[in-house]
Amino acid sequence: MIRKTGVKRTWLAATVLAVGSLIATSLPAHAETGVTGSEIKLGITLPLTGAASPGYNKIGNAMNAYFKYVNDNGGVYGRKVTLIQKNDEYSPQLSIAKTNELILKDKVFALVGPLGTANFTSVHKSVGIAKRGVPSLFLNTGFSGFANKKTYPTSFMILPSYAMEAKIISQFIKENHAGKKLGIVYQNDEFGIDGMGAFKAAGIKFDVSVPYTSGTQSAATAQTWVSQLAAGGAQVVVFFGVTSATAPLLAVAAGAKYSPQWILGSVGADPLTLRALGVPLAVLNGAQTPAGNPSPNDTSDEYVKQFQEINTKYNAGTAFDDYVLQGMNIGLMTVQGLRAAGPNPTRKGLIKAMETKGSTFASVAYSPLGYSQTSNVGHTGYYMAVMDANGDRKPFGGKVKLYTTDSGSGPVVVSTFKRPAMPAKGLPSNS
Amino acid sequence: MRIFKFKRSLALAAVTALAATLLVTAPTVANAAPVCDGKVPVQTCGGATSDGAPYAMMVPANFNGTVYLYSHGYRPNIAIPAGIPVYGGYTITNTPQPGPNATVIGALLAKGYAVVGSGFARQGWNADSAIKTNVELVDLFKKQFTKTTKVVAWGESLGGFITQSLAEKHPDLFSAAAPLCMASDVTPLSTMAGDALWGIKTFFDPSIKGGNYSAGAAGYAEAMGDLVKVFTVIGTLQAAFAANPSTPAWPATSKVPDAIKGIPSRSALVMVALMAGIPMQSAHFDSTSAPAGLPASNTLSFQVAINPAFAALENVANAAALAVLATHDLELQAGGAIFDNTKTDYAARIAEEQFIWASALSGNSGTAGLLSVLAASPRAKADPAAAAKLKTLTSHSGKVEIPTILFTGVADPVTAAGNQQSVADKYATYWAEKWEAVKKAKGYKRPAYNQLVLWNFTPEKYTKYTAAGAPDTSVPAATGTNHCNFTTSQYMAIADLLAYASANGKNLSGGPMLTKIRKAGNMTYDRGYSAPRLKYYGDN
């Protein structure tokens, strides 16, 4: 092929990979990458800045706060847990570079809570997570494709899949909004494939369907969404996207005095983030939403109470919301995974522990965990909630009615599952 | 609407750069003994092998017995008329090239190594004849310089393909080899070229022939016409992207349905890159960065939708023009049309990528719309005899017994990193088979793993913007991008690794190897890394 012999230049920035991969580890012979006698090093990629960052940028700090709490109470078998956060700005290409840094330079033991479907797809493809045997726990995405254990043998989901969520919303619509004109605004990517496929399979037909491309959400584009919904006479509108898109949708709709019954997907319904993005909380009043966890304001819940205390002490100044709750919970589950892997954890041992013991882990979410030797599915259900004028949510109908299902053709059922109790003082003692 | 003014046109790999770094004047009487100038401290010898291919040998007075045989890359086998963008004015040349560039050659000579290289008898895809030429050249060199003890092979691009072939077929002649930024086997190569051209034709200008060129002068005219049209499309898209990067207009030559033109043309170009296996990072576009000062929502959109489109534009520009030249050349050799996509499932081809590049493809509906165009468009059909002939040309088995060193950029737009990965995977399979055989025979000693795979990664972020916020393509190409974009330090590190492997019968390893590549800069050894293999290695 033709050669280009133009000016060449050494880019020092890239040496971070070159150098990082070269230095021989100084761990004891029995130790695993990212594990020393005193420390277990973990990594996460997520958007800390940029349009997609609101809310998500709290997750890493919340995890860190929980780990600090655990570390102050003896750590995991005496080792402190350290989390390295990398800002990928929600760019899939940048996720690759940042994950490479975590694995090659920082030499983390495992990835925990990596965020974004496109991001993790690109990382899995280009970084070779499975080939390297790097555990990637509690993916912060509901893309059901990640439940393919053959393709993602070292990865474990935590959220119910988007397909599960759509199936449960479908059931709820049938039970409570039958006969009304339906509209939907959805993110036009794998989010949409999962969700729209499940809505269709459940027999839900939307009268107005408004896709948007990730990255294009703004007040200007939201004007067109609202115009289409209003023109189509949608009485019940499902929103299936991220919070940075919910915000302009609700704000523009309120300005236009368009007030359908909103059903906000779990991903884009955090009230504090919406408020930070300029949405008056009052517009949330009456909005319905699938929820996996209790309200972050529900101090009668033992998990919420414990996590709030930890947040106050170790994450001072950060308002406690769904993202903080989710981050703390990932921390809690991570510690259980590390403990289950034993006093001398290996990557293989951690994966094995997730497969054999993961389904018994304590978690704030109400639904069962699906981990097994043949499944990397995380939580499997939602209850429907209603938001008030302060953005707080209460179970629809006054008490939690938990629906569980799968990502395929399985039925949506009302579950009587009782979640495990919060470990004493929020400190797991499992093995 | 944000309008960009580029500081200059997108950088394209220029064929004129081929005019080799060395011009060695020498007699070209076929099969005659080399004619040497006898100069000190370096004497230069020239001549021609039995096929008429001119060669050059450069031997220092303190020759230490090891000679580096270099195989140059692809040179078109047709002249390209002046006036054709970028490539215009190229004339066929078989000037011998004994090394990557004069600096590297000088450094090797200073260390006491000799260098040798042929200009090859035929240009274009010439691997089979070049292998024979090189074998003969090695024999000539050894006879002329009887002090020779070791011969190492190296080469770039098509020369990298030739080098790997030499290592596989002639382990008796060579003690080590380094195929750099190597081309793939000819079938995947022609598939990549064909998909890129067919994609451009289908979306942007159906008058592009894209292959099945006529014989003789008529075919030459058709290929040159295609070159002009491809560059016209690229230029039109570049102007449209610059004027309105969010929703750039479609070229007037496009005949896609009006409904499809509701999808930004940039998304169609991204589709072309993905379906052909062309990387989504280019010399100046990292598919990550946005200009400073944009509102946050526009920044994200630029990062995940606009920048990748520019990357596709820059890379497709490089790949498509070469696709025309290579397709014309290979059809001449095979005797008919070689590209066949009658059974290609483009939806399957981009099944994973469509999630990663969802925004650049304008979401699911954009992707579905573009795929519908591909599904509805007439497919190209190969001539069975020509396709069969193509399969008889040399291909790589990956089975080597001598130490080899592979090195390439992960975002090379012409010879995709997947080529190197394919050879690495084949060798891994071969090694595993050998090890199994040893175990079956109750042996315990693992066979030596004699392949060192190195990568040139891209920086994390590298797109530069002018003060006005326009992409600046006047800066040098980022490392890991462009075709065979290596530094002198990297070449010398490869040369040193070859010298070690040649002298010791195995590759340098461990700390010394890591130190060597670290000092060279931007060379990564990472056995956990796996470049995406091009989909058409799986034949869909």
**Single-letter residue type at B429:** T
According to the model, what pLDDT value does residue B269 have? 98
Query: Residues of B numbered 428-457 whose beta carbons fall under 8 angstroms of chain A's beta carbons: which are they?
Result: 457
The span from the CA of A329 to the CA of A336, in Å, is: 11
Q: Which of residues 84-113 of A touch B (CB under 8 A)?
A: 89-94, 97-98, 100, 103-104
List the beta bridge partners of residue B117.
B56, B70
Look-up: residue for tokens 């189509």?
A: A232
Beta-strand runs (E) in A355-426? 381-387, 393-395, 403-404, 413-414
Q: B190: part of which helix (H) or strand (E)?
A: helix B186-204
- Integer Rg of chain B from CA: 24
The verdict on B17 touching A (C-beta cutoff 8 Å) is: yes
Q: Enumerate residues 6+ apart whose C-beta is below 8 A from B503.
A: B66, B150
First to last CA, chain A: 58
Which of B18, B458, B479 has its CB closest to that of A2? B18
Give one word for A226, left, alpha or beta, with left for phi > 0 and alpha for psi -120 to 50.
alpha
B9 near A CB under 8 A: no
Helix (H) or strand (E) holding A119: helix A117-127
| Phi, psi (rounded to 5 degrees) for A112 | -130, 130
> Tokens 């704030």 belong to which residue?
A364
In CATH terms, are A13-160+300-379 and A163-291+383-414 the same topology?
yes
**HSE (CB half, 13 Å, CA atoms) of B348?**
8
Quick one: which of A247, A262, A264, A269 has its CA closest to A182? A262
Joined tokens for residue B13: 């790999």
Asked if B457 and B410 touch (Cβ cutoff 8 Å), the reply is yes
Task: List the single residue in B14, B457, B514 with the smallest CB-CB distance to A17.
Answer: B457
For A180-205, letters b (16+ CB in 10 Å) and e give: ebbbbbbbbbbbbbbbbbbbeebebe
Complete edge-to-edge strand list for the sheet that includes strand A39-46: A80-87, A39-46, A110-112, A136-139, A155-157
State both tokens at B313: 């534009």
Q: What is the CATH number of domain A163-291+383-414?
A: 3.40.50.2300
Q: Strand B150-156's sheet: what is its strand order?
A: B35-36, B42-48, B54-60, B114-118, B66-71, B150-156, B176-180, B404-409, B451-456, B524-525
Strands (E), A199-271: 208-212, 236-240, 261-264
CA pair distance B237, B234, nearest whole angstrom: 5
A126 reaches B (C-beta below 8 A): yes
Question: For chain A, what are the domain ranges?
Answer: 13-160+300-379, 163-291+383-414
Following DSSP, what letter does each residue of B139-181 receive, concatenated?
HHHHHH-TT--EEEEEEETHHHHHHHHHHHH-TTT-SEEEEES
Q: Residue A154's CB: how many other CB atoms inside 10 A?
A: 23
Residue of B538, B188, B126 whose CA lies nearest to B340: B188
> Which residue reads 């040369």 in tokens?
B495
A105 burial via Cβ count (<10 Å: 0-12, 13-18, 19+)? middle
User: Are the Cβ atoms of B280 and A93 closer than 8 angstroms?
Assistant: yes
How many CB pairs below 8 A link A and B?
218
Contacts of A190 in chain B (CB under 8 A): 355, 358
pLDDT of residue A244: 86
Q: Tokens at residue A141, please?
A: 């995405």
Residue whose tokens read 């018994």: A360
Q: Pick the residue of B21, B181, B515, B526 with the most A CBs within 10 A to test the interface with A by mutation.
A: B526
**Interchain contact, A9 vs B476, CB within 8 Å:** yes
CB contact under 8 A, B522 and A103: no
Distance from CA of B361 to the nearest CA of A (A): 9
Asked if the C-beta of B530 comes within 8 angstroms of chain A's C-beta atoms, the answer is yes
Using CB atoms within 10 Å of the CB of residue A281, give its burial: 0 to 12 exposed, 13 to 18 middle, 19+ buried.
middle
Contact B74 A22 (CB under 8 A): no
Matching CATH number, B15-184+398-537, of 3.30.565.10, 3.40.50.1820, 3.40.640.10, 3.40.50.2300: 3.40.50.1820
Own/partner contacts of B108-111, CB < 8 Å, gap of 24 or more, are: B108/B68, B108/B495, B109/B41, B109/B42, B109/B58, B109/B60, B110/B60, B111/B64
Which of A257, A299, A312 has the alpha carbon at shortest distance from A392? A299
Q: For residue range B461-472, list pLDDT tens digits in order.
A: 999 999 988 899
Instruction: Determine the distance in angstroms separating the CA of A92 from the nearest CA of chain B, rounded to an integer.
Output: 7
| Residue owning tokens 């290695």 | B537
pLDDT of residue A24: 32
Answer yes or no: do A189 and B300 touch at CB < 8 A: no
Binding-face residues of A in 34-73 toward B, CB within 8 A = 50-52
Spatial CA neighbour of B327 closest among B230, B250, B451: B230
Closest CA to A83 of A327, A388, A382, A265: A327
Q: Where are the beta strands (DSSP E) in A165-258?
A: 182-187, 208-212, 236-240
Q: Which residues contact A405 (CB under 8 A, 6 or more apart)?
A: A164, A167, A168, A380, A381, A411, A412, A413
Give residue limits of the domains in chain B. 15-184+398-537, 187-390
Strand partners, A414: A403
pLDDT in tens, chain A (431 residues): 333 333 333 222 333 333 333 333 333 444 799 999 999 999 999 999 988 898 899 999 999 999 999 999 999 999 999 999 999 999 999 999 999 999 999 999 999 999 999 999 999 988 989 989 999 999 999 999 999 999 999 999 999 999 999 999 999 999 999 999 999 999 998 888 889 999 999 999 999 999 998 888 888 999 999 999 999 999 999 999 988 899 999 999 999 999 999 999 998 888 888 888 888 889 999 999 999 999 999 999 999 999 999 999 999 999 999 999 999 999 999 999 999 999 999 999 999 999 999 999 999 999 999 999 999 999 999 999 999 999 899 999 999 999 999 999 999 999 999 999 999 999 999 99
DSSP assignment of A18-83 equals HHHTTSPP-S-TT--TTB-SSEEEEEEEE-SSSTT-TTGGGHHHHHHHHHHHHHHTTTBTTBEEEE
From residue B173, give the alpha-carbon distance in Å to each of B67, B135, B137, B139, B365: 12, 8, 11, 9, 56
Distances from the Cα of A339 to the Cα of A28, A334, A359, angstroms: 20, 9, 14
Q: Quick one: tokens of B484?
A: 């065979």
> Mean pLDDT in chain A?
91
Residues of A in contact with B453 (CB under 8 A): none
| Neighboring chain A residues of B484 at a CB cutoff of 8 Å | 1, 3-4
Whole-model pTM?
0.89
- Whether B414 has its CB under 8 Å from any CB of chain A: the answer is yes
Residue A289 contacts B where some CB pair is shorter than 8 Å: no
Does CATH place domain A13-160+300-379 in 3.40.605.10? no
Q: Which of B304, B485, B530 sits opposite A4 (nearest CB)?
A: B485
Whole-angstrom distance, CA of residue B92 vs CA of residue B19: 10
Which helix (H) or strand (E) segment holds residue B69: the answer is: strand B66-71
Taking contacts as CB-CB distances below 8 angstroms, the residues of chain A near B526 are: 17, 21, 104
Q: How far apart are CA B75 and CA B119, in angstroms?
A: 10
**pLDDT means per 10 residues in chain B (540 residues)?**
43 36 50 89 97 97 98 95 85 96 97 98 96 98 98 98 98 98 92 93 97 96 95 95 94 97 97 95 96 86 94 91 91 95 94 91 94 97 95 94 98 94 96 97 95 96 93 95 96 98 97 97 91 61
C-beta of residue B24 within 8 angstroms of C-beta of residue B6: no
| Chain centroid, CA B394 distance in Å | 17
Is A200 touching B (CB cutoff 8 A)?
no
Predicted local distance difference test score (pLDDT) of residue B16: 31
Give how far B471 is from chain A: nearest CA, Å.
18
On chain B, the residues whose CB falls within 8 A of the CB of A121 are 352, 355-356
Name which of B357, B461, B518 is nearest A18 (Cβ-Cβ).
B518
A101: which DSSP letter? I
Number of helical (H) and strand (E) elements in chain B, helices listed first = 15, 10
pLDDT of res. B537: 53
Give me the residues of B, 312-351, that contact A with CB < 8 A.
322
CA distance B223 to chain A (A): 17
What whole-number distance in Å separates Cα of residue A8 and Cα of residue B490? 11
Q: Do A3 and B288 touch (CB under 8 A)?
A: no
Q: Which residues pair with A182 in a beta bridge?
A: A236
Picking from B156, B524, B532, the nearest residue to A3 by CB comes out as: B156
Helix axes A322-340, A302-314, angle to 10 degrees: 100
B530/A131 touch (CB, cutoff 8 Å), yes or no = yes
CB atoms B183 and A15 under 8 Å: no
Is the Cβ pair A121, B460 closer than 8 Å? no
Tell me how far CA of residue A72 lies from CA of A81, B264, B360, in angstroms: 10, 54, 46
